[in-house]
């Protein structure tokens, strides 16, 4: 059975990369964000799935430091992680080769519970992340908030994803093309 994961900051190219790998290998692509609707049916998970969207953006960004934001992302990820692992294990049990991607696949969680390899994408630049945010907004309801998100994703989350990934032996990439080469190398090793 062949399985890989892609973690990293929002708008770094995880979905794009996963689709490329899926096409090249014939594996299924699973975006963890697509599982959120199912998780929302559980009231305990819903509050975490909706954690950021239930906040006032202006207040959140004015009052939340980088480390507090990372802790919020970590708390969200850890809260929904058991549901993610259950889905991953169900897919693995089916024997279906798969690529799993999402921001909530935090390095320490992947190292603890996933028995397959992956990579971390941290983005090329704040400007590229901002342009992607404008085309496909995540949370930011205005261009100003999308710019703030890009700043936080690239300058706050990126270095932490990098540090945590390296600590757990997960290779980190800024460029999608380089990450693709590594994932294809991992795939061929299986």
pLDDT digits (tens, 9 = 90+) for 62-93: 999 999 999 999 999 999 999 999 999 999 99
pLDDT in tens, 19-52: 999 999 999 999 999 999 899 999 999 999 999 9
φ and ψ of 119, to 5 deg: -135, 165
Distance CA 154, CA 130 (A): 9
DSSP designation for 124:
S
Domains defined for the chain, CATH in brackets: 3-189 (3.40.50.300)
**What is the C-alpha separation between 178 and 65, in angstroms, rounded?**
31
Please state the rounded mean pLDDT for residues 145-164: 96
């Amino acid at each position: 059975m062949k399985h890989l994961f892609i973690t990293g900051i929002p708008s770094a190219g995880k979905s794009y990369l996963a689709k490329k790998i899926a096409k090249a290998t014939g594996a299924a692509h699973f975006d963890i964000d697509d599982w959120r609707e199912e998780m929302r049916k559980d009231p305990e998970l819903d509050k975490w799935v909706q954690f950021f969207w239930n906040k006032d953006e202006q207040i959140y960004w004015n009052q939340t430091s980088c480390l507090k934001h990372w802790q919020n992302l970590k708390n969200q990820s850890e809260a929904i992680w058991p549901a993610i692992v259950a889905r991953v294990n169900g897919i693995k049990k089916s024997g279906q080769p798969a690529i799993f991607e999402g921001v909530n696949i935090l390095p320490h969680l992947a190292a603890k519970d996933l028995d397959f390899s992956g990579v971390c994408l941290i983005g090329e630049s704040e400007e590229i992340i901002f342009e992607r945010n404008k085309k496909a907004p995540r949370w930011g309801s205005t261009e100003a908030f999308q710019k703030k998100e890009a700043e936080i994703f690239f300058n706050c989350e990126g270095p932490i994803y990098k540090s945590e990934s390296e600590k757990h032996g997960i290779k980190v990439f800024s460029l999608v093309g380089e990450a693709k080469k590594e994932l294809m190398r991992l795939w061929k090793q299986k």
